[in-house]
């Protein structure tokens, strides 16, 4: 462990989302205010109260895996993770095909709210149809929660520790936060972190359908409306995001292109209710992150909110931001990327962190879509209409999840500092 | 079902189970199973997929003596009751 905390920078990013599977496509779509939510095709939309969601183009998954030089595993959630990991490693110039001859001692810390759900669905289906002998012999390694990080480690020959963090919608933000701490404190020089989830199998999606938190608006382009008065619940999506992070010293020594810096991370538990959020818990996570980063409320130039578009979340998050930032909250532009993709669950934090870094690089951020009439209960500086021009290169990324999990990252656009 | 039909279906199943980079279109009856990238785990999946596809049941150990794709085809034919004139293969 290092006695002096090290600066932690981002040198690689990869994502696969309902809006596209490369940075430029996703960013341009957001700038043009395109929404990636469509009528569902992976499940029968007529069976569900919410017939719309953010699906990834199924052709993009094998295409990205081919580009990464790896064979698909056959579970959509794991293959999404592999696709994003391959893109992140390639953009960082690390691993197979980038001059490495042996395993790279890099940890793989991935988040997922649901895990290898498609393999589990097929396993349950076979078991209930055919009994014990109907179950595929490899059901255990296919379905185990750590299949995601293990397959990434194996396919890309990354020999640091690998594990999956499961904390609902905070999973990948926590994976990034834990990885950040590993590198900052000297337990690793670099890490591959991110998250993945694919909710669209008939069983898991039915669970969400019956939970009562989803929008019933059948119009895909207007269904997801974070912070809007007419919001009526979240819209789900699928995808994955991966980041290569490393110590500034390592990145500089190998001449890597630095994309941004992680300044701090904070986390907490509400310790109160399994699904209802708590202002008190969220405030602790936000203040913990700001303290970890050494930033004050006035330093923050943008908040990429959790913003799920449920009535409970958006109002609670607004109160939390106001309580944590004080008067500064009224002037910090705030938006939720979920209005573009839907809620990517365990992938949400990673994809939204990548979007935030893309914005920090460009000095601007996408606004909220569908924010026609801000909810008076969400008394924030909510970005509407056009892209937000940033006044500060520091951004906050919030993620809050079922289980009372709260995770917050403080990010900074890259500029050489002394 | 001809041997060629079985071969085509086996190629598809093997491609699904193996995860190795193999030119599956080039796999013939003479190809050895050992050259197709199966390990102790993925071979179990292949056995499972074969059983589901062809509606046969056998213990994986029965394949211990099967070295080539052609021998696997003969073994499957014996499981399906079509051994006449086929090369000798382990019985189901």
Alpha carbons within 13 A on the beta-carbon side of A305: 32
Domain A9-253, CATH: 3.40.47.10
A→B contacts (Cβ < 8 Å), by residue, are 71, 73-74, 133, 136-138, 141
The H-or-E segment that residue A147 falls in is helix A147-156
Which chain B residues are Cβ-neighbours of A71 within 8 angstroms? 19-21
Are B45 and A74 a contacting pair at CB < 8 A?
no
- Which range is least confidently modeled, A13-27, A326-340, A350-364, B78-92? B78-92
pLDDT in tens, A18-70: 999 999 999 999 999 999 999 999 999 999 999 999 999 999 999 999 999 99
Residue B12 lies in a domain: yes
Please tell me the distance in Å from A138's CA to the nearest CA on chain B: 6
Residue B49 lies in a domain: yes
- Number of Cβ atoms within 10 Å of the Cβ of A269: 14
Q: What is the pLDDT of residue B88?
A: 46
- State which residue of chain B sits closest to A130, comparing Cα positions: B52
Please tell me the distance in Å from B36's CA to the nearest CA on chain A: 14
- CATH number for position B33: 1.10.1200.10
- State which residue of chain A sits closest to B41, comparing Cα positions: A138
Rounded to the nearest integer, the mean pLDDT of chain A is 96
Residue B84 lies in a domain: no
Which chain B residues are Cβ-neighbours of A141 within 8 angstroms? 41
pLDDT in tens, A75-130: 999 999 999 999 999 999 997 655 566 799 999 999 999 999 999 999 999 999 99
List the single residue in B19, B21, B48 with the smallest CB-CB distance to A136: B48
The H-or-E segment that residue A1 falls in is none
**Which of A123, A135, A136 is the mutation pick for testing B, counting most B CBs within 10 A?**
A136
Threshold 0.90, pTM exceeds: yes
- State which residue of chain B sits closest to A74, comparing Cα positions: B16
Residue B89 lies in a domain: no
What DSSP assignment string belongs to B17-54? HH-S---GGG--TTSBGGGGT--TTHHHHHHHHHHHHH
Tell me: pLDDT of A1 over 70: no
Residue B92 lies in a domain: no
Residue B41 lies in a domain: yes
Q: How far apart are CA B39 and CA B31, in angstroms?
A: 16
- Beta-carbon pairs below 8 A across chains A and B: 18
List the single residue in B20, B21, B45 with the smallest CB-CB distance to A138: B45
Q: What is the pLDDT of residue B89?
A: 46
Residue B74 lies in a domain: yes
B→A contacts (Cβ < 8 Å), by residue, are 16, 19-21, 41-42, 44-45, 47-48, 57
Are A137 and B48 a contacting pair at CB < 8 A?
yes
Residue A54 is given by DSSP the state B
Are B41 and A74 a contacting pair at CB < 8 A?
no
- Which range is least confidently modeled, A208-217, A290-299, B48-57? B48-57
The H-or-E segment that residue A182 falls in is helix A171-184
Residue B44 lies in a domain: yes
Q: Is B12 helix (H, G, I), strand (E, B) or coil?
A: helix
Q: What is the pLDDT of residue B60?
A: 83
The H-or-E segment that residue A139 falls in is helix A139-143
Residue pair A110/A80 in contact by the 8 Å Cβ criterion: no
- Residues with pLDDT less than 50, chain B: 83-89
Tell me: pLDDT of A333 over 70: yes
Listed by start position, the domains of chain A span 9-253, 265-413
Name the residue range of residue B73's domain. Answer: 3-20+28-79
Q: What is the pLDDT of residue A417?
A: 55
Which chain A residues are Cβ-neighbours of B57 within 8 angstroms? 133
Which chain A residues are Cβ-neighbours of B48 within 8 angstroms? 136-137
Percent of chain A with pLDDT over 70: 97
Superfamily designation of domain A265-413: Thiolase/Chalcone synthase (3.40.47.10)
Q: What is the pLDDT of residue A379?
A: 95
Residue pair A261/A414 in contact by the 8 Å Cβ criterion: yes
- Which range is least confidently modeled, A314-323, A370-379, B50-59? B50-59
Q: What is the pLDDT of residue A390?
A: 97
**The two structure tokens encoding residue A290:** 């700001």
- CA dihedral of A351, A355, A356, A361, whole degrees rounded to 10: 140
Which chain A residues are Cβ-neighbours of B56 within 8 angstroms? none
- State which residue of chain B sits closest to A126, comparing Cα positions: B52
Compute CA A294 distance to the chain's CA centroid, rounded to the nearest angstrom: 23
Just list the catalytic residues of A. 169, 306, 343
Please tell me the distance in Å from A70's CA to the nearest CA on chain B: 9
Tell me: pLDDT of A389 over 90: yes
Give the count of domains, chain B: 1
- State which residue of chain A sits closest to B50, comparing Cα positions: A136
């Amino acid at each position: 462990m290092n006695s002096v905390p090290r600066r932690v920078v981002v040198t690689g990013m990869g994502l696969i989302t309902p809006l596209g599977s490369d940075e430029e496509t996703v960013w341009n779509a957001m700038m043009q205010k395109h929404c990636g939510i469509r009528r569902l095709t992976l499940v029968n939309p007529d069976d569900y109260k919410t017939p719309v969601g953010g699906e990834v183009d199924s052709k993009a998954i094998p295409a990205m895996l081919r580009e990464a030089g790896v064979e698909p595993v056959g579970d959509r959630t794991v293959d999404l993770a592999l696709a994003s990991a391959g893109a992140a490693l390639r953009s960082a110039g690390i691993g197979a095909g980038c001059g490495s001859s042996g395993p790279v001692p890099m940890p793989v810390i991935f988040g997922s709210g649901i895990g290898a759900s498609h393999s589990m669905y097929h396993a349950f289906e076979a078991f209930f149809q055919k009994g014990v002998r109907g179950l595929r012999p490899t059901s255990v390694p296919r379905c185990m929660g750590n299949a995601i990080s293990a397959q990434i480690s194996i396919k890309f020959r990354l020999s640091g520790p690998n594990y999956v963090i499961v904390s609902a919608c905070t999973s990948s933000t926590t994976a990034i936060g834990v990885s950040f701490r590993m590198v900052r404190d000297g337990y690793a020089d670099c890490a591959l972190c991110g998250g993945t989830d694919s909710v669209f199998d008939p069983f898991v999606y039915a669970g969400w359908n019956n939970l009562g938190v989803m929008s019933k608006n059948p119009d895909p382009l207007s269904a997801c409306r974070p912070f809007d008065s007419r919001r009526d619940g979240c819209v789900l999506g699928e995808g994955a995001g991966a980041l290569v992070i490393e110590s500034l010293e390592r990145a500089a020594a190998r001449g890597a292109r630095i994309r941004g810096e992680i300044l701090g991370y904070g986390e907490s538990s509400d310790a109160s209710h399994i699904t209802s959020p708590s202002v008190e818990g969220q405030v602790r996570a936000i203040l913990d992150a700001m303290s970890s980063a050494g930033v004050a409320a006035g330093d923050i130039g943008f908040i990429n909110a959790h913003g799920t578009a449920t009535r409970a979340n958006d109002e609670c998050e607004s109160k939390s931001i106001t309580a944590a930032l004080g008067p500064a909250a009224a002037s910090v532009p705030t938006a939720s990327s979920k209005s573009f993709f839907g809620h990517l669950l365990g992938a949400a934090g990673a994809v939204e962190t990548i979007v935030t870094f893309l914005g920090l690089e460009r000095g601007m951020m996408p606004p909220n879509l569908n924010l026609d009439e801000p909810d008076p209960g969400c008394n924030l500086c909510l970005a509407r209409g056009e892209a937000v021009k940033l006044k500060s290169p520091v951004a906050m990324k919030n993620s809050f999840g079922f289980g009372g999990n709260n995770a917050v990252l403080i990010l900074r656009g890259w500029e050489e500092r002394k | 079902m001809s041997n060629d039909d079985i071969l085509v279906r086996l190629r598809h199943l093997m491609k699904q189970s193996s995860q190795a980079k193999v030119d599956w279109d080039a796999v013939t009856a003479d190809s050895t199973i050992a050259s197709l990238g199966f390990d102790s785990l993925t071979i179990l999946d292949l056995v499972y997929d074969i059983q589901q596809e062809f509606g046969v049941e056998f213990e994986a150990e029965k394949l211990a003596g099967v070295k080539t794709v052609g021998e696997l085809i003969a073994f499957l034919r014996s499981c399906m009751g079509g051994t006449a004139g086929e090369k000798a293969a382990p019985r189901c």
